[in-house]
Amino acid sequence: MLTKLLGLSRSAGAARSARLPWARPSALFVRIALGTAFLSAVADRFGLWGAPGAPNVAWGGFGPFVAYTARLNPFLPAGFAPALAWLATAAEVGLGVALLVGFRVRSVALASGALLLAFAFAMTVSVGIKAPLDASVFTAAAGAFLLASVSVRD
């Protein structure tokens, strides 16, 4: 869809990638960076990076992540937080693995960008614009959308 909006066909996008020798390695780098970032966040939720309060650990367990989910979504009933936390976790696992193995890159990159943009919006509304800027959430979303626009396969 983005290629149509930009006036490019899939073959034009493939031709452009062929003229830019760094396009494929760059797309691979973005795929790996986004995929590992999603999986790292999930690992943190299950305490694989350390206990709550340890240096460089955001949550350290699923309970603190559910509380954070509730904090970012104060407009939802509190009872929705666990379900939303599990939904986000499942989405991040699926998207992370799909990005790493190169499965339907364009579609997965678009879904990743949408998820990251939703996260950035929730952060902005509930804790202010500085939090998503400091965490580079908008940057990650932009990278995902750019990956979707340069990927030649889906």
Q: Amino acid identity of 10?
A: R
pLDDT at 38: 98
Q: What is the pLDDT of residue 110?
A: 97
Structure tokens given for 33: 């960076």
Residue 115 lies in a domain: yes
The residue segments making up the domain with residue 35 are 27-150
Residue 16's pLDDT is what? 52
DSSP the chain: -HHHHTT--HHHHHHHHHH-TTHHHHHHHHHHHHHHHHHHHHHHHTTTT-STTSTT-S-SSHHHHHHHHHHH-TTS-GGGHHHHHHHHHHHHHHHHHHHHHTTTHHHHHHHHHHHHHHHHHHHHHHH-THHHHHTTHHHHHHHHHHHHHH----
Asked if the structure places residue 39 within a domain, the reply is yes
Contacts of 38 (CB under 8 A, 6+ apart): 92, 93, 95, 96, 99, 112
| Confidence (pTM) | 0.84
Give the pLDDT confidence score for residue 69 in this predicted structure: 96
Pull the structure tokens for residue 32: 């790996």
Say how many domains are in the chain: 1
Q: What is the pLDDT of residue 2?
A: 47
Query: What parts of the chain have a pLDDT lower than 70?
Result: 1-19, 152-154
Kindly state whether residue 4 falls inside one of the protein's structural domains. Answer: no
pLDDT recorded at residue 108: 97
pLDDT value at position 61? 96
Structural domain includes residue 127: yes
Assess if residue 44 is contained within a domain: yes
